[in-house]
Amino acid sequence: MKLVRFGAAGSEKPGLVDGNGVVRDLGAVVADIGGDALTPAGLDALRGLDVEALPVAPAGVRFGACVAKPGHFIAVGLNYADHAEESGMAIPAEPVLFSKAPNCIVGPDDDIIQPKGSTKLDWEVELGIVIGTRARHVSEADAARHIAGFCLSNDVSERAFQLQQGGQWIKGKSCETFGPLGPFLVTPDEIADVQNLAMWLDVNGEPRQRGNTKTMIFNVNFLVSYLSRFMVLDVGDVIITGTPPGVGLGMKPPVYLKPGDVVTLGIEGLGQQRQKVVAFPG
């Protein structure tokens, strides 16, 4: 299944994309794409619906983030060896973990706001994992059953905040609009091999990132297991899993986003995003 949230920001409704690519309204079936709807029982109930009987969403409707209000928004840094190299950092022996503030999450085509004081605004196409069953010290072999689905993410980053102002990476990763998610939450049965998905990102139509999830240092199941050693992962939590090479920081000389730039990105089977960079209002 492909699950979506659609409508005006802050008033999104749950939806499902049918076999013809038409968005169907799930508002009479579930409250949102989160909580019980993402559990194995909840997903099974959605699979049992007569999709053709569901109302059709308005044409051209805005997509919101594909998950409603995750409790945790966790990211994995330097999880592609070639990205670690372009960043001038060692390949990690264990996953590098950091948090993004959950309230930085926005829809896949919403604007990216350049924060006040930002000078090094960057992009990162990433695969996202959405948790469907509470995970607490789970094994790698058992990790897959805790996953509700996968999504596309742009791990928007402010490198000066992240790397030049001390403290933790969260400062450069959590500004308003720094977490576009979606358009779809795609259940695992629709993905033949999550460790072999093509990834891309362009800026103003020019190629920047080209990669594949097969070059991850730490794979999806390992990451879920590893994270569950250090925190309880709850239903609806989101983990974004690192980016391939081609970020602005790694260019020679570095190139960063500015107002007016347009970022487009996608992952095979998970849809596409488009964001325009805008200045901080006021």
Which one-letter amino acid corresponds to residue 6?
F
* Structure confidence by residue, pLDDT tens digits, 8-66: 999 999 999 999 999 999 999 999 999 999 999 999 999 999 999 999 999 999 999 99
* Structure confidence by residue, pLDDT tens digits, 80-123: 987 777 778 788 899 999 999 999 999 999 999 999 999 999 99
Number of domains in the chain: 1
220 domain-assigned: yes
Nearest to 154 by CA among 130, 131, 173: 173
pLDDT score at 10: 95
pLDDT score at 86: 77
pLDDT score at 82: 79
16 domain-assigned: no
51 domain-assigned: no
Partners of 15 in the β-ladder: 4, 25
Q: What integer is the mean pLDDT of 179-192?
A: 98
Question: What CA–CA distances, in Å, run from 179 to 142, 162, 240?
Answer: 28, 15, 10
For the entire predicted model, the pTM comes to 0.96
Structural domain of 209? 66-279
pLDDT score at 37: 98
With 90 as the cut, is the pLDDT of residue 245 above it? yes
8 domain-assigned: no
122 domain-assigned: yes
Average pLDDT of every residue of the chain: 96
pLDDT-derived band of residue 212, with 50, 70 and 90 as boundaries?
A: very high
213 domain-assigned: yes
**Whole-number percent of the chain with pLDDT over 70:** 100
14 domain-assigned: no
CATH of the domain at 124: 3.90.850.10
b/e map 10-21, b = 16+ CB within 10 Å: eebbbbbbeeee
Q: What integer is the mean pLDDT of 135-151?
A: 98
Query: Are the C-beta atoms of 273 and 180 separated by less than 8 Å?
Result: yes
93 domain-assigned: yes
Query: Are the C-beta atoms of 266 and 273 separated by less than 8 Å?
Result: yes
Question: What CA–CA distances, in Å, run from 90 to 96, 98, 109, 227, 228?
Answer: 11, 17, 33, 21, 24
Task: Pull the structure tokens for residue 181.
Answer: 């998610």
